[in-house]
Amino acid sequence: MSEFDANVWETVEHEGDPIQRRAITIDEIVAISVPEEPADDDDPDLPGQTIQVRTGGDETFIPQAEIVEVQDTSPGEI
C-alpha cells in the first residue's frame, strides 16, 4: 500500500465504533478484481473486503477495501 497516494486518514463511525479510512489513487491500472468469497484475513466486523489491483506485471491485494469511485483518466487509450 505504501506505493499508492494515501497519506490522509479520516476517522469515521461504523456501527457505533470509530474506524479509520482513506482514499487512494492508483495510476495505470490494468484490472481490479473483487473475489466472490472473502479472503481469509477479511474482518467481517469491518466494512469492505480484499480487492486485487493489477498494474502492468504487478498485483497488489488491498484488505478491507470498498470501491467508491473509479475514473478513467485516459479514455480511449489501451
> What is the greatest pairwise CA distance in the chain?
44
Q: How many CA atoms lie within 13 A of 23 on its CB side?
A: 4
Beta-carbon contacts of 68 under 8 Å, excluding residues fewer than 6 positions away, are 23
Q: CA nearest 65: which of 49, 54, 46?
A: 49
Average pLDDT over residues 6-23: 80
- For residue 1, the model assigns a pLDDT of 46
Q: What is this structure's pTM? A: 0.64
- Condensed to tens digits (0 to 9), the pLDDT of residues 27-75 reads 788 888 888 888 888 888 888 889 999 888 888 888 888 887 777 777 7
- Condensed to tens digits (0 to 9), the pLDDT of residues 60-71 reads 888 888 887 777
